[in-house]
Amino acid sequence: RICFPPAGGASTDFFPVSRTRSPGIEVLAIQYPGRQDRRTEPLIDDLHVLADVLAPVVRPWCDGPPVYLYGHSMGATLAFEVGVRLTQEGAAPRALVVSGRRAPSTFRDERVHLLSDDDFIRDLDRLSGTDPRLFQDPQVVEMILPALRNDYRAAETYRYRPGPRLDCPVVALIGDEDAQVTVEEARVWSEHTTGRFDLGVYRGGHFFINDHAADVMRVIREVAAGRTPALPGQAIALRG
């Protein structure tokens, strides 16, 4: 499976995923430009451009065992865009699993990336996805804020470009207290595939996956095994 990190994230975010993988499943985590071992490379603040860059990197892996894409938050949108490009090249992923993100064609006028540093950090703290102690160190803030703000800009300025749908199953997972996505917005993911769609609603906020990591990994393993996952608050739409 190929994993796409959320805004401000890095490939190391998925070390816990790799430790819980099933035998025979290889976990490949995408490293975006401008962070960790790629910190000297320019940041990319356009998800369409970033998908254009990443799709050729992912493409060779599609010639081997089945490829499954997973992304959280901004990473979900990016995984979708990469999946669209792979599908157009005849190398469609076997399935797409997304979490913490509304469907690409839904729109919100969000401008968090334009906030002052203090207000921006307060908004990050609201989502509870970053250890608040990190923002107490000015040097750490100086190091991580550019990538975070860049990714927020990329996510908030993203606009869906109508085109062919995916032809693989899509599974969407959200938290019932996540202000970033409603159940209605998540259901719209069903319109982006001709395959089966499943929706799971967990207790929690935007980073509900931190509290339900074991179950989320179970869902991903079941999808990778070609089974229909058992999901909380499940809503299913069948497409053909």
pLDDT in tens, 141-183: 788 889 999 999 999 999 999 999 999 999 999 999 999 999 9
Specify the pLDDT at position 139. Answer: 77
Q: Are 31 and 44 in contact (CB under 8 A)?
A: no
In this prediction, residue 28 has a pLDDT band, given cuts at 50, 70 and 90, of: confident
Please indicate whether residue 73 is annotated as part of the active site.
Answer: yes
Q: CA 112, CA 123: separation in Å to the nearest integer?
A: 8
Specify the pLDDT at position 10. Answer: 78
Single out the catalytic residue among 11, 18, 22, 73.
73
Burial 24-41 (b: 16+ CB within 10 A, else e): ebebebbbbbbbeeeeee
Residue-wise pLDDT tens digits, 71-81: 999 999 999 99
**E strands in 75-167:** 95-99
